[in-house]
Chain A
């Protein structure tokens, strides 16, 4: 097995508006620190979940340039707030097409896990419940 690593030192608050507009997401926790704090997330805006998933895809894209992603199965277990530093780490299976990746805060707390499969000409394994069970 081989491993890959990707990191971003500080998640930008200003990028969240772009993501919300593209996603059609009007959830105030992504845009208004006061709203995020009032709902128990703390005094900073909450990074949209798809942005966190994009970080794991970046990890795969940098490790396997030009490869096409076939499948993503992800469980989001925590939140990333504006200003947080995050690290993505991935472990590649022997076949070289499957990466088990996770995104962690600087504290080591894992907020996102995903199995990402790249071009291999077959459907992803799926038992009907997905690779990850719901953990929230």
Chain B
């Protein structure tokens, strides 16, 4: 932990059940249209789907994970940082398995909140046993005082 010590936090070790994400061609079309992306030319989905599948396919909603850890998700949580490593392109009409773990939970000083909790989750997105992407994302929310 950095800075302020939050004694109630036990992030790493918190169990998040595995989940699945169904990436349909229709959903890829809708997401592309919603963000003015180029139209899909073949079976490869928009690369943002590594992130969407990771978060959407978690066995729990990210809000519930935060609440379960005693964090103030409903006080204005925002995405702070993310890293995506692609092992292979994600394709449409494919079911993805998502395995998630808590990588870190830290309390840091914040210009916006005074003190903020940073929750970092790590996800692996796979299809038919083959890894397609590794995603690490940090959600930031004001610290309960």
Contacts and interface: CB of A to CB of B under 8 A. Distances in A.
Interface of A: 8, 12, 15, 18-19, 22-29, 39-41, 46, 48-51, 53-55, 57-58, 61-62, 65-66, 68-76, 79, 123-124, 126, 130, 132, 134, 136
Interface residues of B, number: 44
Among A22, A46, A72, the one with the most B-chain Cβ atoms within 10 Å of its Cβ is A22
Nearest to A75: B81
B63 A27 contact: yes
A25 B60 CA distance: 10
Contact of B61 (A22, A24, A75): A24
Nearest to A133: B81
B131 interface: no
Given A25-B62, A39-B76, A74 B111 contact: no
B138 interface: yes
Contacts of A130: 81, 83
A40 B76 contact: yes
A29 to B, nearest CB: 6
A134 B62 contact: no
Contact of B58 (A24, A69, A71): A24
A130 B77 CA distance: 21
Given A23-B56, A26-B63, A18 B36 contact: no
21 contacts: A18-B30, A19-B52, A22-B56, A28-B74, A49-B79, A53-B48, A53-B51, A53-B82, A54-B48, A61-B38, A68-B44, A68-B89, A69-B47, A70-B85, A70-B86, A73-B83, A75-B80, A76-B80, A130-B83, A134-B108, A136-B78
